A and B are shown apart, each in its own frame.
Chain A
Amino acid sequence: MDAFTSHTGVGVPLRRSNVDTDQIIPAVYLKRVTRTGFEDGLFSAWRNDPSFVLNRPEYAAGTVLVAGPDFGTGSSREHAVWALMDYGFKVVISSRFADIFRGNSGKAGLLAAKVDEKVVQRLWDFLEDNPGGVITVDLESRTVRAGEGPDAIEDSFDIDDYTRWRLLEGLDDIGITLGHAEAIDAFEQQRPSFKPVTIYS
């Protein structure tokens, strides 16, 4: 997993609340055998609508999704996070995330930044007035910034310390465990020899 300290990218205003995981990626895409390439399934029902925000050229390079409350509710499918990341998103900003979605995001390396609902409103207004406008999300200082001058937006976001630490260090769960490789080696030294193996060397 890449370390995440700060990211600046085109913001995409998704003016919807309760975006569930079936809307993020429908079940038919789960029959696949790959972990990548889910971008075509992202919001697939909405993508048919030419006016859907992701279909508008100004937002084509979007990497920061700004969504309404209760983003990511529904099933536990990790594919929802994979689809967002495969599409190019690095950050999702919302005022409320479903627990499992938030957990899955942290595992996969997608930053789920929880902000005040007013901040979401201001970001939406900013992005719609300035299509293609960028948002900066700084994990170190836990702040989001957008715009300039007197109307500039700057506010803080919430993320739990453990997930923040892991993202800053670029550690996925596996990375963290591999950090304890010596303990695993030591444990293996003491395993009784009668324990079964599937392959003989």
Chain B
Amino acid sequence: MGKTLSEKVWDEHVVRSEPGEPDLLYIDLHLIHEVTSPQAFEGLRLSGRTVRRPDLTLATEDHNVPTVDWDKPIADPVSRTQVETLRKNAAEFGVRLHPLGDLDQGIVHVVGPQLGLTQPGMTIVCGDSHTSTHGAFGAIAFGIGTSEVEHVLATQTLSQSKPKTMAVTVNGSLPEGVTAKDLVLTLIAHTGTGGGQGYIVEYRGQAIEELSMEGRMTVCNMSIEWGAKAGLIAPDQTTFDYIQGKPEAPQGEEWDAAVAHWRTLVTDDDAVFDEEIVLDASTMTPFVTWGTNPGQGVPLGGVVPSPDDFEEPTDRTATEKALEYMGLEAGTPMRDIKVDTVFVGSCTNGRIEDLRLAAEIVKGRRVDSSTRLLVVPGSVRVRLQAQDEGLDVIFKEAGAEWRGAGCSMCLGMNPDTLEPGERSASTSNRNFEGRQGKGGRTHLVSVPVAAATAIRGTLSSPADLEPLEVASTSTGQEG
């Protein structure tokens, strides 16, 4: 019997396998940030251990860092201490660090791919649940806890039981204006937040193959939001083209050898998945969340559901609670929901393609007077590239705030937070209670929906915007 893609990658990394024990897996790349690493380094120090492979380890600062005044000392003392601790640890243990102010600083899951360090067939871990992002390249990538961070630092391996495999096949093509984000939000509403538990998921099918690398990263990023251990996509020409020429990509003969190997990283025709889900992309529409977990979503054209729509008592209670927290009435059209803050950014949607898409929509328009639009590039390089392309000017002319790189309002560990009761449309990945600030209310949306919402002040898609030509000539029409 053939093997699935994830089984191939897994088997290539088994250092040791004994019946009744978890496999010992070799880790190709260990990414580190300031929040989950301090105790791991401290643990090494206490037991007199070293980092086995600093050359397979990379650190950056993202969760805590401010997106303004990044050239000044961090104002919040707790955040500053965590960041300074990372700097000390990186220096002491010889780990490469891209600190605040460095050209390659940014969200850890944006930095890895843009450096070309994220490649097909690798095992990649990080003390962060959205490490699944890197699966877009055909890598097995997942988040780990602090003890495991220490284990990887010391041994460059992890003890892991082999997960089951699942295929998510998305047939057809996404309609115009419907994005990878809508695809994954639709999937999560379909499976529920626990549907992927215990599985490594392979996303496949025409709609997945047609996605750019950015779009594939958006899909894999949110694997954890439906409980999957990891999500991955078979590498193809799109993948190779993205990696080629990146700073840490293989070159010359090494490149040829790498690509030859990467081409073998596909699920064999006779391989069998433990579970399979099939979706049709051609029926998908812009999708937004109304509740307090990523599975509580509906099409933008829909209405806020009622607890009575659900059969399971637990779903009813969850819906009641979510509506109360979100301050929403059942039956309200999603398009009528007034939004205070729009956040474009995060490791889900903070890459250059996302910023281009947002800029295209807000270009020549003004952000609604009672709404704020925050644009936070995923990395310094994304910010600089956007500035090269003049996107920052478009955003600023529209009345948006153009910020420095980091996680920012995705989790509100830095000063970018929602006020209690404030409502956001956010391109990030979690709408949990208080995620973006105590009492904050989050709607997860795609980039086009975020941009259009910023202009209209209510949840909207670009199709709801008045065409610019009409708006700029006086036709006597009412606005």
Q: Which A residues are in CB contact (< 8 Å) with B151?
A: 173-174, 177
**CA gap between A1 and B116 in the complex, in Å:** 38
Question: In the complex, A158→B24 CA distance in Å?
Answer: 28
Q: Flag whether B169 is at the interface (Cβ < 8 A).
A: no
User: Is A58 an interface residue when CB atoms closer than 8 A count as contact?
Assistant: no
Interface assignment of A118: CB less than 8 Å from any CB of chain B: no
The residues in A between 147 and 201 inclusive whose CB is less than 8 angstroms from any CB of B are: 172-174, 177-178, 180, 183-184, 187-188, 191-201
A173-B147, A184-B156, A187-B15 given; A35·B43 CB < 8 A: yes
Q: Is there an interface contact between A174 and B49, defined as CB atoms closer than 8 Å?
A: yes
Question: In the bound complex, do residue B55 and residue A198 qualify as a contact, i.e. CB atoms below 8 Å apart?
Answer: yes
Residues of B within 8 A of A35 (CB): 38-39, 42-43, 46
Chain A min CB distance to B55 (Å): 4
Q: 8 Å CB contacts to A: which residues of B39-77? A: 39, 42-43, 46-47, 49, 52, 54-58
Q: How far is B26's CA from A107's CA once the two chains are assembled, in angstroms?
A: 20
A76 within 8 A of B: yes
Complex: A132 Cα to B82 Cα, angstroms: 40
Contacts of A193 in B (CB 8 A): 254, 257
- CA A78 – CA B144 in complex, angstroms? 13
Q: Quick one: closest A residue to B261, CB to CB? A: A192
Q: Smallest CB–CB gap between A75 and chain B, Å?
A: 12
Does B273 sit at the interface, judged by CB under 8 A?
Answer: no
Which residues does chain A contribute within 8 Å of B96, judged by CB atoms? Answer: 198-199
Contacts A31-B78, A174-B151, A193-B254 given; does A180 touch B116 at CB 8 Å = no
Q: Does B439 contact A (CB under 8 A)?
A: no
Q: Is the CB of B150 within 8 A of A174?
A: yes
Nearest Cβ on chain B to A28's Cβ, whole angstroms: 10
The CA-CA distance from A16 to B244 in the complex, in Å, is 61
Q: Which residue of B lies closest to A185 (CB)?
A: B15
* Contact among A178, A183, A191, A196 for B29, CB-based, below 8 A: A196
Report yes or no: B254 in contact with A198, Cβ–Cβ below 8 A: no
B460 to chain A, nearest CB (A): 38
CB-nearest residue of chain A relative to B253?
A194
Known A-B contacts: A174-B47, A177-B159, A188-B156. Give 9 more (CB < 8 A): A34-B38, A35-B38, A35-B42, A36-B42, A78-B39, A173-B151, A183-B15, A196-B250, A198-B117
